Amino acid sequence: MGTPEIVAVEHVSDGVAVVTLHRPERRNALNLEIKTRIADAVLTLEADSNVRVIVLTGAGGYFIAGTDIAEMESMSPARHQALETDRMFTVLRRCPKILIAAVEGYALGGGCETALCCDMIVAGEGARLGQPEIRVGIMPGAGGTQRLLRTIGKYRTMRLALTGEPLTAREAFDAGLLSEIVPDGSAFERALTLARTVAAMPPLSVLAIKEVVQLGQDVPLETALALERKAFVQLFDTQDQKEGMRAFLEKRPPQFKGS
């Protein structure tokens, strides 16, 4: 067998694709090449109508240990802008497909921010998640402070960002940062099971749920409730709604087609 691609894409089942980062010698730390490849892979999958859910994971027992400090050390603000060092995070945040992070080992710095771009995070019980950027003279710069603020609140976010100390998987779960904790080594399989479950759901309902959750977290409650209600009512004009309810009444599995 040859050396695996540094960013590998695999279509594993109906509607599910997996993006795996292979950089074991650096615990899958992000550099510009890897970020570009992940962004390009996700954009390609985004354009593939056969893909409904994307699982993002790292090989070798680690998710992403951080961002490559050696590459960043000499960068100027202008260089960051020119190289679009945040492009991968923007692509992940804007992806309309469901993203599930399967986290083992470390999800630190840019690795934690990568997971935070996803819709669900499944972590092994030995995983550590955090934002240690302050320890090298900078701060989170790809959503770490803002997404954590909206997920776990001000006081936990300030502790993480100001001390650089990571959360254990249990602490992260208790704070609302994880979807599930699983035994070490099984995060990917559990993420894959979740992905297959979601991929079998009516696509228009999945899309609507993701959209209203994303938009609703940053607007007043009454506005968010209006967005939810509008999306709910619109789904009654779909064939999947009619099929789903008929199947329920007829006590048979539904056949969703995304129409």
pLDDT band at 72 (very low <50, low <70, confident <90, very high): confident
* pLDDT mean across residues, the chain: 93
Instruction: Render pLDDT for 187-208 as a digit per residue (tens, 0 to 9).
Output: 999 999 999 999 999 999 999 9
- The answer to whether 67 touches 30, Cβ cutoff 8 Å, is yes
pLDDT at residue 201, as a whole number: 97
Write down the H helix ranges in the chain: 32-46, 69-72, 77-83, 87-94, 110-116, 144-152, 154-163, 169-174, 187-199, 203-216, 221-234, 239-249
Instruction: Render pLDDT for 125-146 as a digit per residue (tens, 0 to 9).
Output: 999 999 999 999 999 999 999 9
> In 3-state terms, what secondary structure has residue 31?
coil
Q: What is the mean pLDDT of residues 35-53?
A: 96
* Helix-helix angle 32-46:87-94, to 10 degrees: 20
pLDDT surpassing 70 at residue 3: no
Instruction: Render pLDDT for 145-183 as a digit per residue (tens, 0 to 9).
Output: 999 999 999 999 999 999 999 999 999 999 999 999 999
- Structural domains of the chain sorted by starting position, each given as residue range(s) with its CATH number in brackets: 7-199 (3.90.226.10), 203-249 (1.10.12.10)
Size of the chain, expressed as the number of residues it contains: 259
Instruction: Render pLDDT for 73-96 as a digit per residue (tens, 0 to 9).
Output: 777 788 777 667 789 999 999 999
> For the whole prediction, is pTM greater than 0.85?
yes
Q: Give the dihedral of Cα atoms 201, 204, 210, 211; nearest 10 deg.
A: -170
d(CA 110, CA 106): 11
d(CA 55, CA 98): 8
pLDDT surpassing 70 at residue 2: no
pLDDT at residue 80, as a whole number: 74
Closest to 88 (Cα-Cα) out of 32, 131, 159, 132: 32
pLDDT at residue 83, as a whole number: 63
Closest to 117 (Cα-Cα) out of 88, 140, 138, 141: 88
